[in-house]
Chains A and B, each alone.
Chain A
């Protein structure tokens, strides 16, 4: 019997991971979140609360949790109200959680992270593997939070060899709300004139499958998760049904210097990610986790254009109706 705690069950990804994990034989799932889960969570029970470190420790001990899946990052699945509050929960909250896990004798922690932690730099190889150091200094916003947590984890893991820490570095997520979805669906997403970096994406369901595997497999360390295909940024915007708006880099720099960040619209990452590609190598996840992405980036973008998960195509609906009616026979 494996007892799993999902921190962040109040997000769509947490709910999906809870559904999938609780369907696994011999797994009991408990969820923790600030709100009611937005989607079904399978057989999982959940607690709606904001816990401090001591309270977390009490929960982990009392419930005899063996595996913790930590997905609660502010700004990843709904817009951030304020940066300060986000850093408080994302960085300090993660440190507190890791401390509680080590103290409570949890076997394994699976952390959410981002492929953007490597930074976008012309000196990065075309495919970045997990051995590449995290570029904290070059990042801002949510990516910086992820990178700071990763940096903390590197030291923490060395001091706590009994706790297996896995960090899943996810490519920008498609499906539900995510910073990249907000960018791709606003009118006229901004691009830098003269640059067209390659973009790597990840379907929501593939990300959830990655967390399920990482929670149950005997692995540790970082894993990159991304769809198998890459798209040029301009192509991604067009596949999402938009036309890019080009801005000149010097103008952007001037605008940012005087504090106007609106010039890049809702572009969620640093300016450097509009210049250079950041493509992660997923070979390790495939070899050690046995994970393979089921969705291509192009298909996920086309679904985004169709307005969400279910296509509006009548043939698809007909096929799904038949499959649903046939489920009991």
Chain B
């Protein structure tokens, strides 16, 4: 197991056993006190962040403690009082960064301890019915994640509902009754959230990005990142913590999941913990699709026009592009990991104009999530799609065929190529532009080949 620690004290690499699979406790380093990482995140979070941003960091990802917590630990959750170890960390932040962390967080942290205990019991198969244990842990996690968005009163109400319920004893019907009551209560609270949006009280930027929507989607993406694809992100230190950069990645996997996972990697695993939002450029064709267009915009994606790329970079944003475009996502399974042509070097021009470093990124694992055996072009033409994939599961299994295969992914961020050594006229010089594009392409292909050689199994 990796013992490399990133600067904020968390293992730099994900342990292989964090998936809900039977795991053997094997001499893992004891878990760092929870909250340290959170504290660094809050300290660096901008004041402009909306109030709803206080929520937990990827809980399911953190390695479970190896030694089972003492069985006699009080099972009733503590509210504010007997706080667990991390309290001092956010105690320091209380004055300045209070709005970034809801008062429900204290309760949620205690819930998190219980959740870990339950998960641990289930992993070691020490309790009865381990599958039920995972489900119980998942339910506790959901309650906890919701709790982190809530106020003091609501948190008190939740802990009142849970009083007297032994949260570690998931075989007791009382446990499920308590959880059920809490979830119902939390749904009522979500209604208030929706009502507020109905009154128009939210903000979007000029590209349509809505941070609240990003917060809503993030737990799901985090689940795909940590549990489904068990993504290993490397070289995140090459991504600047605050300044501009252009991430250039290979594109694969029929649906653009790779872009989403790059964004999660930067938001979750960056050593600086600044939770930067990656603005991916998408084909402008998507902006004319109903429902998809506003959803992409709300999640911070931007139509892939050169003006947009330069403007975002000039505002010191982190921009991701996939120069292969549709040729990449619509690749057949037999062509996997062979980079397609890199457009006409437009991404290099944008980077040169904005004097932004280019960070080549490789994604390995996304090629196999939907093995596209053939492209049914007549169907695609009929529906107006760029391609219509035929995989072993799609369209034969209907909606089930859309579930991606749980391959194991690795995302590598390569050292940046500086562009500030070129003059402003370089952007209009085809030799420089195409030369740099080729250099980026070769870096990505070489890294893909190296990663593939290391890889022992697709899953």
Contacts and interface: CB of A to CB of B under 8 A. Distances in A.
B288 A243 contact: no
Contacts of A237: 200
B307 A125 contact: yes
A270 interface: no
B284 A123 contact: yes
Number of chain B interface residues as a range = 20 to 34
B294 A194 contact: yes
B200 A277 contact: no
B206 A279 contact: yes
A231 B206 CA distance: 8
B72 interface: no
A250 to B, nearest CB: 10
Given A236-B200, A238-B200, A277-B208, A195 B307 contact: no
Contacts of B207: 126, 198
B208 A193 contact: no
Given A123-B284, A123-B305, A238-B199, A230 B205 contact: yes
Contacts of A193: 290-291
Given A194-B290, A235-B200, A235-B202, A125 B208 contact: no
B200 A230 contact: no
A138 to B, nearest CB: 14
A276 interface: yes
Nearest to A236: B200
Nearest to B290: A194
B188 to A, nearest CB: 22
Contacts of A231: 200, 204
Contacts of B292: 194
Contacts of B364: none
B305 A232 contact: no
What is the size category of the interface that chain A forms with chain B? 20 to 34
A77 interface: no
Contacts of A276: 287-288
A193 B291 CA distance: 8
Interface in A249-308: 249, 275-277, 279, 298, 301
Interface string B184-213: 000000000000001110111111101000
Contact of A126 (B202, B204, B285, B302): B302
B303 to A, nearest CB: 6
Of the candidates B205, B208, B291, the one having the most CB atoms from chain A within 10 angstroms of its own CB is: B208
B260 interface: no
B384 to A, nearest CB: 14
B293 interface: yes
B276 to A, nearest CB: 19
A293 B293 CA distance: 29
Interface string A15-36: 0000000000000000000000
Contacts of A125: 305, 307-308, 311
A194 B291 contact: yes
B288 to A, nearest CB: 5
A329 B294 CA distance: 54
B290 A249 contact: yes
A79 B185 CA distance: 50
Contacts of B290: 192-195, 249
A152 interface: no
B284 A122 contact: yes
Nearest to A276: B287
Contact of B208 (A123, A192, A194, A232): A232
Nearest to A238: B200
Interface in A188-237: 192-198, 200, 229-232, 234-237
B294 A275 contact: no
Interface string B252-296: 000000000000000000000000000000001101111111100
B88 to A, nearest CB: 39
A139 interface: no
B262 to A, nearest CB: 21
A89 B169 CA distance: 80
A113 B205 CA distance: 25
Given A126-B206, A232-B208, A235-B204, A196 B294 contact: yes
Contacts of A200: 206
B95 to A, nearest CB: 29
A243 B198 contact: yes
A276 B202 CA distance: 20
Given A192-B290, A194-B293, A194-B294, A122 B303 contact: yes
B419 to A, nearest CB: 21
A185 to B, nearest CB: 15
16 contacts: A122-B287, A122-B288, A125-B311, A126-B207, A126-B305, A127-B311, A193-B290, A194-B290, A198-B204, A198-B297, A232-B210, A235-B204, A236-B200, A238-B199, A239-B199, A249-B290
A-B pairs with the 5 shortest C-beta distances? Answer: A194-B290, A238-B200, A125-B307, A239-B200, A194-B291
Interface of A: 122-123, 125-127, 192-198, 200, 229-232, 234-239, 243, 249, 275-277, 279, 298, 301
Given A195-B294, A231-B200, 8 more contacts: A194-B294, A198-B207, A198-B208, A238-B200, A239-B199, A275-B288, A276-B288, A277-B208
